[in-house]
Chains A and B, each alone.
Chain A
Amino acid sequence: MSKITFPFGPQHPVLPEAIQLSLTCEDEKVVEVLPVIGYMHRGIEKAAERNPYVNNVFLCERICGICSFIHALSYCQLMEELMQVEVPPRARYLRVVWSELSRMHSHLLWLGLLADSFGFESLFMQCWRARETVLDALEMTTGQRVVQSSCVIGGVRRDINADQARQLREMLAGVKAQIDAVLPVFQKDYTIKARTVGKGVLPKDQAWKLGAVGPTLRASGWAWDCRSLGYAAYGELGFEPVVENDGDSYARTMVRARELVQSYELVLRALDALPEGPLAAKIKGVPPKGEAIMRTEQPRGELFEYARGNGTPRLERLKIRTPTFANIPALLAMLPGCEIADVPVIVLSIDPCIACLER
């Protein structure tokens, strides 16, 4: 059988973003995959050295518009660590609220895209309808739908008052009802199972060796979630990672489905425990000096950041390793041996975010 090689992307209906996979196939089977990247590269790390460190919050937020809040959060925490700023408790809890709302909208978006990738249009629409309510909640509390800009170094810029908290609870109750309606479909539907069970299997030991992160890793049986480190207010909210053991596309879907419900509960818990107090700490004169690292959990997995400051308003180096970057080797291990028709679903199953990947 002769082999043929053809491109998947860079402009492909399944992915809103541009990445190319060069697939080598034998008949209908994929035998080799090569990623061709660079279509989304902007050079954010370099630009972060040119901007004053305060402005970088907004630049980092725009590494990716889906997990934007958590990008801003990790950069802020990194700077706080460098400058030894103590963040007020109310700000820490508000950060959890917005992080988890971001995770909810990200996971709903992904569940929708997954349904869309095998042509389940109505389910796609249902998921995105639920997501709109989450975006409304974000807009009500931060003023923006996708890029919230509510995190600053030292704390947050906006408050959630009692009235907003009440509205937020009502909105979330509506979202929960919609989630409860769609999740059983993902769990039980014959078509979805046929397209995901046993597809793109990533065995437990391999997941670890290839350095997978986030739901991709947790679906292979590792209880590894940076929120367990207890940054922001996670340490006080009783957080437990969600784990599945099968390592296939179905398990990855289930991890995200359960995390969706978990995020909903975390938001409510954070709202219940919201302490009184100031929103942000005062930043005193000295710009960041020295080295620090920060790890946070994005909807897609662990985000790692490193910064080195030299006491001037401009950083010497900012390194950002995003979750999708870490998950690409795992994806390349999942694809060989699968049918061409399964490629879009398996690619989606790691929840690739190319804007993050290439920065």
Chain B
Amino acid sequence: MMGLITKSRIKSPWIVHYCCGSCNGCDIELLACLTPLYDVERFGILNIGNPKHADLLVVTGPVNKRNERVLLNLYHQMPEPRVVVAVGACACTGGIFYNCYNVLGGIDKVIPVDVYVPGCAARPEAIIDGIVMALDKLAKIK
């Protein structure tokens, strides 16, 4: 039996978005998910600025040496249970920026990742799919 709290958490997950040096392509696709055509608010998903209120961390970009610390901070400020979604090829592996000197190559070098959404740029449908998969994971966290 799913507990009441878990149930309500799955019913309305709040996400916080951080951009770790992406090209913006995936960021605007993530924002597009919030707009009338895709409208993820119908799943109760809200994008908020404060990591302390969030259940899901959505990260785009390959992470560089400078924002590594910010990403870690955001992750640690989120209450448990939390899941992390890496959106876009460059957040998954470094993507096209694999040989840039300032790039660590994928956010899983810094924090644990639960769902990888491929694509350069990832389509809004793929991002929504990824978030829904992350919700499954969130429900299973004890």
Q: Which residues of A contact B (CB under 8 A)?
A: 10-13, 16-18, 38-44, 46-47, 50-51, 58-59, 62-66, 68, 109, 112, 124-125, 128-129, 131-132, 135, 144-147, 353, 355, 358
> Contact at A18–B121, with CB atoms within 8 Å?
no
Contacts of A43 in B (CB 8 A): 100-103
Q: Is B107 an interface residue (CB 8 A)?
A: no
Q: Is B81 an interface residue (CB 8 A)?
A: no
> Contact at B24–A66, with CB atoms within 8 Å?
yes
Q: Is B6 an interface residue (CB 8 A)?
A: no
In-complex Cβ contact of B67 among A39, A46, A51, A58 (8 A):
A39
Q: Which residues of B contact A (CB under 8 A)?
A: 16-32, 35-37, 48-49, 51, 61-62, 64, 66-67, 70, 74, 90, 96-97, 99-103, 120-121, 123
> Contact at B64–A355, with CB atoms within 8 Å?
no
Contacts of B90 in A (CB 8 A): 62
A-B contact list, 6 entries, CB within 8 Å: A12-B49, A39-B66, A40-B67, A41-B102, A42-B62, A355-B23
Q: Lowest 6 A-B CB distances belong to which pairs?
A: A65-B25, A13-B49, A128-B35, A65-B24, A43-B100, A62-B23
Judged by DSSP, the binding face of A is loop
> Contact at B20–A18, with CB atoms within 8 Å?
yes
Interchain CA distance A118-B82 in the complex, whole Å: 30
> Contact at B49–A18, with CB atoms within 8 Å?
no
Chain B residue with the shortest CB-CB distance to A37: B66
Contacts of A146 in B (CB 8 A): 25, 28-29, 121
CB distance from A9 to the nearest CB of B (A): 10
> Contact at A10–B70, with CB atoms within 8 Å?
yes
> Contact at A47–B100, with CB atoms within 8 Å?
yes
> Contact at A42–B100, with CB atoms within 8 Å?
yes
> Contact at A42–B64, with CB atoms within 8 Å?
yes
Contacts of A112 in B (CB 8 A): 35
Interchain CA distance A303-B73 in the complex, whole Å: 35
Contacts of B30 in A (CB 8 A): 16
Interchain CA distance A222-B122 in the complex, whole Å: 39
Chain B residue with the shortest CB-CB distance to A116: B31
Q: Which of A40, A50, A125 has the most CB of B within 10 A?
A: A40
> Contact at A65–B121, with CB atoms within 8 Å?
yes
Contacts of B67 in A (CB 8 A): 10, 18, 39-40
Interchain CA distance A109-B32 in the complex, whole Å: 10
> Contact at B21–A59, with CB atoms within 8 Å?
no
Contacts of B66 in A (CB 8 A): 38-39, 41
> Contact at B96–A41, with CB atoms within 8 Å?
no
Interchain CA distance A53-B51 in the complex, whole Å: 41
Contacts of B96 in A (CB 8 A): 58-59, 62
Interchain CA distance A18-B63 in the complex, whole Å: 11
- Known contacts being A11-B49, A129-B37, is A42 close to B97, with CB within 8 Å? yes
In-complex Cβ contact of A16 among B17, B100, B103 (8 A):
B17
Contacts of B35 in A (CB 8 A): 112, 124-125, 128-129, 131-132
- Known contacts being A39-B66, A145-B121, is A66 close to B28, with CB within 8 Å? yes
Chain A residue with the shortest CB-CB distance to B50: A13
- Known contacts being A17-B24, A147-B25, is A129 close to B70, with CB within 8 Å? no
